[in-house]
Structure 1
Amino acid sequence: MDDLSNATAPVAVKGLNHWFGKGDARKQAIWDVNVTVAKGSLTVLMGPSGSGKTTVLTLMGCLRDVQDGGVRLLGHELNGISEAQAVMLRRQLGFIFQAHNLHESLTATQNVLMGLEVHGRHNSAQQVQAARHVLQLVGLGDRLDYLPANLSGGQKQRVAVARALVSNPKIVFADEPTAALDKDSGKSVVEMLKALGQQRGTTTIMVTHDNRILELADRIITLEDGRIVSDEHQH
């Protein structure tokens, strides 16, 4: 792939290595990973437990410091980036984790508003409307004012998805987003992420073990022992 496409790609990873631990306990976890992700695509990272897929995801998503090699995220090189720049970049991203991390004392709508980094108690009517709209998109239009304690595990995870999407992120990083969901909910969440790619150009990079959603992926990258062992474009 030429340099021009690398420059405009939402994520471009070059010669990425990563270690955990210090001294004698230092162990290499990622070996020479090279990936350029196309805008608006749904890319799935697969591999056995301990293969390095979540580490690669967190390095791409500016959640972990790049030690060796290059990661370009939305045109910014992450190796050596300042914390202020990292914060600015993270604001343009959406994150969905296996643990939904909802605030138990806030309603579904209020939890989604947290995705807008809204400070203070008075959210604008427009922001509340955006939060309610995205909850309706994930099928929770009748649960807008429910507390997490009154939602099922799958519903909580959909609130977390809505929180990640409410700010119209340029890239969504998702780590096992369907783990807590039943088959239909899991597929509908991934279909929604795919539709956002087509409608808004949102790029999704997802770690999953979920074979049910592989047919929706544009690309499947498989890691083993910290190395890419296959990289298949689906469509």
Structure 2
Amino acid sequence: MYRKPGTPDPIVVSHLNHWYGSGETRIQVIFDATLSIAPGSLTILKGPSGSGKTTLLTLIGCLRDVMDGSLRLLGTELNGASEPAQVALRRRIGFIFQAHNLHASLTAQQNVRMGLEVHGTHGNRDRYDDAAAHALRMVGLDHRLHYLPGNLSGGQKQRVAVARALVGNPEIVMADEPTAALDQESGRVVVEILKALGRERGTTTLMVTHDDRIMGLADRVLTMEDGRIVSDTAPR
């Protein structure tokens, strides 16, 4: 696992609580979550449906407002953070979801290029295509640059989505069930790419998954039940 001396943890959560609804219908879904995630690590968050995994992931990813407790992301406190501050942090994160959400009318390269355009990445726009092609080569799809999603397999589509998340060199990757629709080989390829980025670039990955086939690749596995983190282990 990659870590420069003195590098602070990019994700630090302390006594985090979260609720849905209001008044009599208010339901607590996260209870006193406390954790710290090291740079360059691949951490898996698992647990049954409804345990709070995705809620915690979206809180850490600045997709929900922090209600109670402390959540520091890349050195910025999210409790009370302004919308511009949260937007700036989102631009430093790559998001991968189970649904690849590719645009059917765009080629693989064009879909990945959107990862730079949507996030307002600075740099020479003439190099965006080169960057997209490089990201696709990284996930083994250099021979599919100009293919439309309709002409790609399910595993190839998900790898395009991974390339789109990684093209801007994010400091953190948030992945929600990225291997659920993939066969064992394709799923392992996706996770090994993320793990390699941790070693080589210090990219930190937090992944929600039920996929037992990839648990052994993680540096750390957190288990949630009923909104609480109930175990924290490092696979052998």
Flag whether TM exceeds 0.5 (same fold): yes
Q: Which residue does the alignment assign to 1:162?
A: 163
RMSD across aligned positions (CA): 1.7
Paired with 1:231 and 1:35, the residues of 2 have a C-alpha distance of 9
Residue type of the partner of 2:43? T
Q: Shift of residue 233 of structure 1?
A: 2.4
Paired with 2:142 and 2:105, the residues of 1 have a C-alpha distance of 19
- Structure 2 length-normalised TM: 0.93
Q: Which residue does the alignment assign to 1:176?
A: 177
Distance 1:17-1:79 versus aligned 2 partners, 3 A rule: same
Q: Which residue does the alignment assign to 1:207?
A: 208
Q: Shift of residue 148 of structure 1?
A: 1.2
Does residue 60 in structure 1 map to residue 60 in structure 2?
Answer: yes
- Alignment gaps of 5+ in structure 2: none
Q: 1:1-235 to 2 correspondence within 5 Å?
A: 8-117=8-117, 124-234=125-235
Q: Percent identity among equivalent residues?
A: 67
Cα pair 1:6 1:12 within 8 Å, conserved? no
Cα pair 1:7 1:75 within 8 Å, conserved? no
Distance 1:14-1:7 versus aligned 2 partners, 3 A rule: farther
Paired with 1:167 and 1:175, the residues of 2 have a C-alpha distance of 19
Moved over 3 A (4+): none
Q: Shift of residue 45 of structure 1?
A: 0.1
Distance 1:175-1:58 versus aligned 2 partners, 3 A rule: same
Cα pair 2:7 2:39 within 8 Å, conserved? no
- Alignment gaps of 5+ in structure 1: none
- Structure 1 length-normalised TM: 0.93
SS of the residue 1:95 aligns to: strand
Count how many residue pairs are aligned between Structure 1 and Structure 2: 228
Q: Shift of residue 6 of structure 1?
A: 11
